[in-house]
Each structure stands twice: as structure tokens, then as C-alpha cells.
Amino acid sequence: MFHYELHKVREAEALREAAEYRLARRARRAGAGRSLGDEPGRRVKTADRRDGGRRSPRAFGTAA
């Protein structure tokens, strides 16, 4: 195998790995906060609520 052929093979592998990484990053970004999104009939609570996940005692339905 000649040097330029080896260079082409390595370049193709690098491009393929970059494309796989890009797809995985997009999938992670698109699925953020939707772990139960595929199951029908279940209410999904997003991770990025306005209160940041901290709920007041009134939100829990307690008397206090």
C-alpha cells in the first residue's frame, strides 16, 4: 500500500468517526429531558422546569 493510499484510508476513517460523533451528539441533545417520551399515556416531566426542580411545599399538596 502506498503512502497516499494509507492517507486516504485514515482520512476516510476520521471523517466516519466524526460523523458518528456528530449523530450521537444530536441524538443526546434531542433527547434531553425526555426519557419517557416514547411511552404513550405517561406524563413526561421535563428536566428544565422553570423552578429548576425545586418545588415549594404547596406544590406537594401538603397542608403546611
Q: Do the domain assignments include residue 11?
A: yes
Q: Do the domain assignments include residue 12?
A: yes
Q: Do the domain assignments include residue 47?
A: no
Q: Do the domain assignments include residue 49?
A: no
Three-state DSSP class for residue 13: helix
For the residues 15-28, what does the mean pLDDT come to? Answer: 93
Domain that holds residue 11: 1-30
Q: Do the domain assignments include residue 46?
A: no
Whether the Cβ atoms of residue 48 and residue 33 lie closer than 8 Å to each other: yes
The dihedrals phi and psi of 43, each to the nearest 5 degrees, come to -80, 130
Q: Do the domain assignments include residue 57?
A: no
Determine the pLDDT at residue 20.
96
> Does residue 51 have a pLDDT over 60?
no
Note the pTM of the prediction, 2 decimals: 0.43
Q: Do the domain assignments include residue 45?
A: no
Q: Do the domain assignments include residue 37?
A: no
For the residues 11-24, what does the mean pLDDT come to? Answer: 96
**C-alpha cell read off for 14:** 476520521
Domain total for the chain? 1
